[in-house]
Amino acid sequence: MIELSDLTKRYGAKTAVEGLTFSVRPGVVTGFLGPNGAGKSTTMRMMLGLDHPTDGEVRIDGRRYAELRDPLTFIGALLEARSVHPGRTAYHHLQCLAQSNGIPTRRIDEVLDLVGLTAVARKRPKGFSLGMGQRLGIASAMLGDPRILMFDEPVNGLDPEGIHWIRNLMKRLAAEGRTVFVSSHLMSEMALTAEHLVVIGRGRLLADTSMARFIEEN
Ligand code: ADP
Ligand code: ADP
C-alpha cells in the first residue's frame, strides 16, 4: 500500500504538484489519469524516492522510502526515461542490477522468461524494438519480486499486441495481490486497464474512485 499525504512539489515559482492525498491499495490495478503536464511523472518520481517533495510525504507500507531496507524488493518501476547501457546485453544489464542489489542470479532467468525475452537475452538492447525495450524495463522492475509496481505511460508508442501484453501483465500482477499503479493521459486506455482511478489536473487531485463509478458519473 502506498499513501500520499498532502504531497506538493514546486520548481521555483512553478507548482507541479499541489496537496495530493490519496492511497494506492494492493490487489487491483489503480490508474493515474491526467493530461500531459498534469504532474503524473513528478508524483511518481516522488513515490519512488527519486525526487524530494517540497511538502507532504509518501509512505510505503507505513515507511518512508529512505527507511526501506531493500527498496527493489518493495517497489519496482518502469519510467518513461529509462537508460540501458548500450554495450551490455539484456542478460548483462539484469546481471549488473541483480549484483548491485543483492538479488540472486536465478531471478534473471525467471524475469527474462516472464517478459518473453529469453531468446534474445544475449543480444544488445540497442537493436531492440520499443516493445522489447519495454519488456526489458519490466524485467528490471520485476527483478526484486516487488510487492509494488509503478508504470509511467507504459503503452505509449506500442503496437496493439504490445499494449495487450502489458495490460494483461499488470492485471495478473494485481491479481497476485501486488499493488499496481499505472499512469496514462488516455481515458480509453485506463478504462481497459484499471479497476480504480485517480485523476489529476494541474497538479491537483480531481477524482479518486472506482472505475465503474467514475464511468457512471462522467
Ligand atoms: P469508498 O466506498 O471507501 O468511497 P470507493 O467507492 O472510492 O470507496 O472505491 C470503490 C472500490 O475501490 C472499493 O472496493 C475500494 O476498496 C476500492 N478502492 C478504494 N480506494 C482504492 C485505492 N486507492 N486503490 C485501490 N482500490 C481502492
Ligand atoms: P505529466 O507526467 O503529467 O505529463 P509532469 O510531472 O512531467 O507531468 O510535469 C508537471 C509540471 O511540472 C509540468 O508543468 C512540467 O513542465 C513541470 N516540471 C516537471 N519537472 C520539472 C523540472 N525539473 N523543472 C521545472 N518544471 C518541471
- Torsion, Cα 48 207 164 156, to 10 degrees, reads -60
CA 148 to centroid of ligand 1, rounded, Å? 17
Nearest CA-CA partner of 157 in 127, 191, 134: 134
Ligand 1 atom nearest residue 213's Cα:
6
From the centroid of its chain, how far is CA 86? 23
Residue to substitute in 42, 52, 205 for testing ligand 2 pocket (most ligand atoms within 8 angstroms of CB)? 42
What values do phi and psi take at 101, rounded to 5?
-120, 10
Nearest CA to ligand 2 atom 11: 16
Residue to substitute in 24, 58, 210, 211 for testing ligand 1 pocket (most ligand atoms within 8 angstroms of CB)? 210
What confidence score (pLDDT) does residue 41 get?
96
pTM of the model: 0.89
Ordered mean pLDDT values, 10 residues apiece, the chain (218 residues): 97 97 98 97 94 95 84 84 78 94 94 95 87 92 94 92 96 97 97 98 98 96
What confidence score (pLDDT) does residue 83 get?
67
Q: How far is CA 34 from CA 44, 47, 68, 208, in A?
A: 13, 17, 29, 12
Report the complex ipTM: 0.73
Query: Is the shortest distance between the CB of 193 and ligand 2 below 6 Å?
Result: no
Rounded to 5 degrees, what angle do the CA atoms 113, 159, 183 make?
A: 80
Ligand 2 atom nearest residue 200's Cα:
3
